Amino acid sequence: MTARMTLSPAPRLAAALAAAALLTACSGTSAMPSAPAPPAPAPAAQPATDGYTPVTVQSCGSTLTFDAPPSRVVSTGQEATEMLLALGLAHRVVGVSRTYNALPPELAADFAKVPQLAGEDSAPREVTLAARPDFVVAPYATYDFDAAEGLATREDLAAAGAQVFGLRVNCTEDPASSTLEDTYADVLDLGRIFGVSDRAEQLVADMRATVDDVRSRIAGRASVRVLAYANGEGPLGVSGAGLATDLIRLAGGENVFADLAEGFGEVSVEVAAQRDPEAFVVNFYEGGPAAQDKIALLTGLLPNSPAARAGRAVGVDDAALNEGVRNADAVAQIARALHPDAF
């Protein structure tokens, strides 16, 4: 997988991503089923928005065109699901999968209304196609359509009349270039596609306001060297260049492994110690190690680091660290840990 903007892979992608990708997984309520279930009856197709203007967007190297808003939408991962719900599109969603953490309270009620195709797993090919999507939003536009994993392929979906929109951060040829601006761009594109640009623009404006508030509070303060940790006891899985580095930068930090060309990499404990991190940022997701357990592990492995000696560390919901509508909240949470006296 290409560079991811966060800290560790989603649970069911961990094996594939540990070899080549980025980072991934809590707030809120709403329980997720753990086994695939037949999709619930889909809502009636929604009429085109009055005055809808045909839209063309570029996504992961493909040109997508729309004469009306998609009416049968499938999400292949939590990050995409949260984007759709935040844009008020629950009534158009006919199935979601790979939901690995509870959603925030403001999205939980809508989440309870959408059909769950596979809980925390990726939906099997037959289940996805049975939902009869006309549009699929995918956090990982390569791995979410792997025939070897029993998933519906892009060809399957095209034959069924569905277009695929992949989130930018995970389908770029230059992972190091990924930033929070990519998240904003995807939200705005989805707003155009569904004829809800006003809502998308307000969502992006709110995210920018959160980040601007952080930046004004920490202005003039020295950056803090951050080790962004995902997994492992040696080698350690850490965030490299890309979205994770940008989120840390915006929070007043400096990713000590920003020189890794990919969004995710493995380094020895010795090399991590040499980078002398002043703070730890770790991800967490349901079914994985708790954030405090990861922090305790790093403290034991790097006891002489300034981060361990000062006890400066924070756990951040994986869904807020991967590209999505909670990225700005992640910036604020990290900033409070790095610069607590600014808040």
Q: Return all residues near 170 (Cβ < 8 A) that are at least 6 apart.
A: 1, 2, 3, 4, 21, 22, 139, 140, 141, 142, 323
pLDDT, tens digit (0-9, with 9 covering 90-100), for 279-324: 999 999 888 899 999 999 999 999 999 999 999 999 999 999 999 9
- Residues 228 and 244: beta-carbon distance below 8 Å: yes
- For the chain, the farthest-separated pair of C-alpha atoms sits apart, in whole angstroms, at 63
Residue 278 CA, chain-centre distance (Å), reads 25
Mean pLDDT of 15-43: 38
pLDDT, tens digit (0-9, with 9 covering 90-100), for 43-82: 444 444 568 999 999 999 999 999 999 999 999 999 999 9
Q: How confident is the model at residue 175 (pLDDT cuts 50, 70, 90)?
A: confident
Q: pTM score, two decimals?
A: 0.86
- Residues 167 and 139: beta-carbon distance below 8 Å: yes
* Domain definitions of the chain by residue range: 29-207, 220-342
For the chain, give the mean pLDDT. 88
DSSP strand pairing (73-75 vs 93-96) = parallel
Distance separating alpha carbons of residues 170 and 144, to the nearest angstrom? 11
The count of residues in the chain is 343
Distance separating alpha carbons of residues 321 and 24, to the nearest angstrom? 7
Q: What is the pLDDT of residue 298?
A: 97
Please choose, from the candidates 244, 277, 297, the residue with its C-alpha nearest in 3D space to the C-alpha of residue 7.
244
Q: What is the pLDDT of residue 49?
A: 54
Please choose, from the candidates 337, 170, 314, 187, the residue with its C-alpha nearest in 3D space to the C-alpha of residue 242.
170
Instruction: Give the CATH class of 220-342.
Output: alpha beta
Q: What is 29-207's CATH number, 3.30.390.30, 3.30.360.10, 3.40.50.1980, 3.40.50.1000?
A: 3.40.50.1980
End-to-end CA distance of the chain: 36
Residue keyed to tokens 């730890």: 280
Q: How confident is the model at residue 176 (pLDDT cuts 50, 70, 90)?
A: confident
Pick the range with the lowest mean pLDDT from 1-5, 86-90, 221-225. Answer: 1-5
Mean pLDDT of 129-155: 96
- The C-alpha torsion from 316 through 317 and 319 to 320, rounded to 10°, is -40
Q: How confident is the model at residue 171 (pLDDT cuts 50, 70, 90)?
A: confident
pLDDT, tens digit (0-9, with 9 covering 90-100), for 194-242: 999 999 999 999 999 999 999 999 999 999 999 999 999 999 999 999 9
Residue 316 CA, chain-centre distance (Å), reads 12
Q: What are the Cα distances from residue 226, in Å, to 191, 246, 273, 337?
A: 34, 12, 12, 11
- Residues 139 and 322: beta-carbon distance below 8 Å: yes
Q: What is the pLDDT of residue 19?
A: 33
